[in-house]
């Protein structure tokens, strides 16, 4: 499994808005075992192009800050599950997801 997190390199947290994302932190797992992490530039592509790029990288899940519903649909069209409106540490968000704990939602109740 590959999980991409919209990453703010300066704060080392999840980027507040997907449209401001310059980097993704890509976490790889074999089952529940962590195998690799890599910092990847978005090359300043549009939000819609990011869905295609992450799909080509075989990303299964995106954790990010705020995004427009139409943008979320583009990730869904590429087969990428999205958790948006998330905030905090990228490492903590991935750990929470992988261990079944609640993610920190910015604008709504945890799901």
Please provide the DSSP assignment of 42-77 as one string: -TT--HHHHHHHHHHTT--EEE-SB--HHHHHHHHH
Summary mean pLDDT of the chain: 92
Tokens at 10, concatenated: 């300066």
pTM of the model: 0.91
pLDDT band at 111 (very low <50, low <70, confident <90, very high): very low
DSSP bridge partners of 66 = 17
pLDDT in tens, 37-57: 999 999 888 888 999 999 999
């Amino acid at each position: 499994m590959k999980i991409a997190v919209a990453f703010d390199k300066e704060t080392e947290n999840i980027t507040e808005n997907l449209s401001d994302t310059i980097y993704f932190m890509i976490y790889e797992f074999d089952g529940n075992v962590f195998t690799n992490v890599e910092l990847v530039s978005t090359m300043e592509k549009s939000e819609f192009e990011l869905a295609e790029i992450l799909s080509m990288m075989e990303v299964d899940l995106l954790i990010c800050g705020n995004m427009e519903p139409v943008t979320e649909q583009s990730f869904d069209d590429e087969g990428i599950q999205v958790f948006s409106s998330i905030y905090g540490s990228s490492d903590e968000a991935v750990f929470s997801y992988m261990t079944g704990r609640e993610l920190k939602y910015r604008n709504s109740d945890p799901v």
